[in-house]
Structure 1
């Protein structure tokens, strides 16, 4: 830039012609960013539509392909889509058990209960399998990371898998089962106009039903 704030522009002109006419247009990133901010950080694709269809007077051609708006990066962050299915399934009974504690449930039951725990295995008939739990996947709630429970797992050779905070999809199997369970509980209590304090009985009945419903792990069979 010169001292008078002028920018030299080098152009390859065809000097063989007597008259040479050229039209030069320069659009700086600052101008593009200014229009981007004027329209509330609208994406540059939308601004390009304004320009191409001449919907905005005075809007020059913008070049937003290589422009990165740090404010958009901070304000428009989104999580990656949560997978609906697990990438890996256990191939043996109790090889991987999922657990989740649903708390607190309101209202408190007639017997003073406010908690419900879910244990999800990929195979059925666990009671008479004769096998022990190999791995337990849970969140980092205090009920799972306490010293007493950790010592119990170490004593019985149970490997622990703790999901990261604010990532329920890492334990999506039992999270989905808990959601299904609570939906069924609310529907049954509502259908029979039963008091909500009977939710523990509804939970027990719900799991009794779910344990006999078809699953993806066992095709064309009821556990």
Structure 2
């Protein structure tokens, strides 16, 4: 059924509005005042009246910008408002340990983030409660916890856990991911960096859980405009991060194989490694032993 949008007097402004593909009135007025086109005659008095198009109202409606309304509400206090989200990494299956998802927990005040590879989204509950318990035990105050409306977060177990500790649980409203925008956008940013690092080093897709953790550690030690050039690590921990032990992701190395591990005299005395620094542990270098197809950790 066609919707009629003509006013009672069938005025010229409405006709031209429809002829010009429902162009907004300000643009039509500009065309008339400046002679942008010829053959258009609209009385000036019509531009002073309230103009309503019943077709434009439902067709052009937009959700109010969340960024503008939320910009002043971001907390600057560490640990006060963590947020969390999960991401499906189906394109990189199977990951080491049969990991399919990862969970990010993001501290809004410091922009520091924690990353947890997951076999299933249901594992997110345990990570959330464990980290929250550790932060509370260290004396930090958590006022609220925000997530999307997924079942891995909105469940009785997590609600009771938060209530018992005086933490307000604020899941976003349905169909409004903007409410969890900080961590939602961060998922894509970190995965893009991870993809670039893996591509540059020609690493197999199965290594995505470890490479993603490397990227998260690096991101925590990188400056951000949200903190006016500070790093999340410095904002949260109070010390300038030391990057002296950073290794290029996928750096090729070799490890000596002791005699007891060599089955015959013909076996090479060293195995090839792909290495990257795992900065959360500072001293550990994570290595993937190519010949054996497994991870190892070396302390430097």
Question: TM-score with structure 2 length normalisation?
Answer: 0.55
Deviates most, 81-90 or 165-174: 81-90
Equivalences for residues 1-223 of structure 1 within 5 A: 28-52=9-33, 53=35, 55-57=37-39, 59-61=41-43, 63-64=46-47, 65-83=49-67, 86-90=71-75, 92-108=77-93, 109-121=95-107, 122-123=109-110, 129-131=138-140, 133-215=142-224, 216-217=226-227, 220=230, 222-223=233-234
Going from structure 1 to structure 2, the CA distance change for 1:217 and 1:51 (only over 3 Å counts) comes to: closer
Going from structure 1 to structure 2, the CA distance change for 1:104 and 1:37 (only over 3 Å counts) comes to: same
How many equivalent pairs are there?
196
Structure with a larger share of its residues in strand: 2
Q: 1:91 & 1:40 partners in 2: Cα distance? A: 46
Structure with a larger share of its residues in helix: 2
Cα offset for 1:145?
0.7
Going from structure 1 to structure 2, the CA distance change for 1:82 and 1:57 (only over 3 Å counts) comes to: same
Going from structure 1 to structure 2, the CA distance change for 1:51 and 1:86 (only over 3 Å counts) comes to: closer
Question: TM-score with structure 1 length normalisation?
Answer: 0.72
SS of residue paired to 1:99? strand
Deviates most, 77-86 or 38-47: 77-86
Deviates most, 211-220 or 69-78: 211-220
Deviates most, 191-200 or 139-148: 191-200
SS of residue paired to 1:42? coil
Going from structure 1 to structure 2, the CA distance change for 1:156 and 1:58 (only over 3 Å counts) comes to: closer
Going from structure 1 to structure 2, the CA distance change for 1:152 and 1:43 (only over 3 Å counts) comes to: same
Structure number with larger C-alpha Rg: 1
Cα offset for 1:117?
0.7
Contact 2:96/2:209, CA 8 A, preserved across alignment: no
Larger relative contact order (CA 8 Å, sep ≥ 6): 1
SS of residue paired to 1:149? helix
SS of residue paired to 2:73? coil
Give the alignment's Cα RMSD to 1 decimal: 3.1
Contact 1:99/1:174, CA 8 A, preserved across alignment: yes
Q: 2:28 & 2:204 partners in 1: Cα distance? A: 56
Q: 1:161 & 1:112 partners in 2: Cα distance? A: 31
Cα offset for 1:116?
0.9
